[in-house]
Amino acid sequence: MKVIFLGTGTSHGVPVIGCKCPVCTSTDKRDKRHRTSLYVSEPASIIIDTGPEFRIQALRSNVTSPDAVLITHSHADHLNGLDDLRIFSHTKSVPKTEGGKSDAETEGEGLTIYANENTIRDIKNRFDYIFTPVKEGGGKPKLHLVDCAEFGIGNPIKIKGMEIIPVPLIHGSLNDSGWLLSDLTGSTKRTLAYLTDCSLIPEDSFKLIKDAAPNLDHLVIDGLRPEPHSTHFSFREALSAADRIGARHTWLVHMTHNCSHVEICNYIEENLHDFPNLQEIVKNGGSVQPAFDELKVES
């Protein structure tokens, strides 16, 4: 599986508009954080979230011909670039028999978007023009919206040698969707868990991850800042969840401008002794690090 981090920043992005703090004015490329998004380029082409910079991210990282898009939730920093999928969607033909139902206007054609029920409702509301019939002009994406609730460990989404399972998360008071992505094309199953924008991982979701991927290769997890927050994991909360999940490699995303890349690395190193499972994983060749924009990971 080949993965590119398109963005690793929180809702403001980094640098923050008008801010002159040391992180926002840093010359370290790893401190420039677009809104959080991920691209899996192989074996299937999968986009996770389309934030405000999606067009820039797609051009920068050569995103081409996605097979599907996964949306975690409908906050602006994860959704507002949805219209930029237009260039991809007009070349897609989705069989009517594929999982889920779509609107009659888009059924049988377009780019498949997987999301939970609340996110689909918000997409239809905020991007209503996409689903409103027009006689001419008004170029718009052709999207096939599929509720991910019908998929699970016994019924994964299947795309070109990959299996994808939604992972329910809690983001403040919002129901969010994390994702388990598994590459089945090699001799060994390789799995990445993508758990951004969460303040709570339900017990059933911890169990789901363990059952579906007992030897998890990569964990991408929300880690906003050192201080607690009502809708996001702090660094310490992210490390605690990561310690429990036990992936070989853990990557923090959705970071604010409170800390530079180097400072986050130092925080992890200074606090790793409180997380014995992570400490043992690192000792045996694994890693716990902050991700950064354009970071490429392969497993």
Structure confidence by residue, pLDDT tens digits, 55-71:
999 999 999 899 999 99
Average pLDDT, the chain: 93
Considering the chain, what percentage of its residues have pLDDT values greater than 70? 92
Considering the chain, what percentage of its residues have pLDDT values greater than 90? 88
pLDDT tier, 133 (very low <50, low <70, confident <90, very high otherwise): confident
Residue 43 zone, left/alpha/beta (φ > 0; ψ -120 to 50; rest): alpha
**Residue 100: predicted pLDDT:** 45
Residue 108 pLDDT exceeds 60: no
Residue 97 pLDDT exceeds 90: no
Residue 208 pLDDT exceeds 60: yes
User: 5-23 pLDDT, tens per residue?
Assistant: 999 999 999 999 999 999 9
Mean pLDDT, residues 165-185: 97
User: 230-266 pLDDT, tens per residue?
Assistant: 999 999 999 999 999 999 999 999 999 999 999 999 9
**Residue 139: predicted pLDDT:** 79
**Residue 38: predicted pLDDT:** 98
Residue 105 pLDDT exceeds 50: no
pLDDT tier, 116 (very low <50, low <70, confident <90, very high otherwise): very high
**Residue 96: predicted pLDDT:** 44
pLDDT tier, 103 (very low <50, low <70, confident <90, very high otherwise): very low
Residue 177 zone, left/alpha/beta (φ > 0; ψ -120 to 50; rest): beta
What's the pTM value of the predicted model, to 2 decimals?
Answer: 0.93
pLDDT tier, 282 (very low <50, low <70, confident <90, very high otherwise): very high
Higher pLDDT, 53 or 64: 53
pLDDT tier, 134 (very low <50, low <70, confident <90, very high otherwise): confident
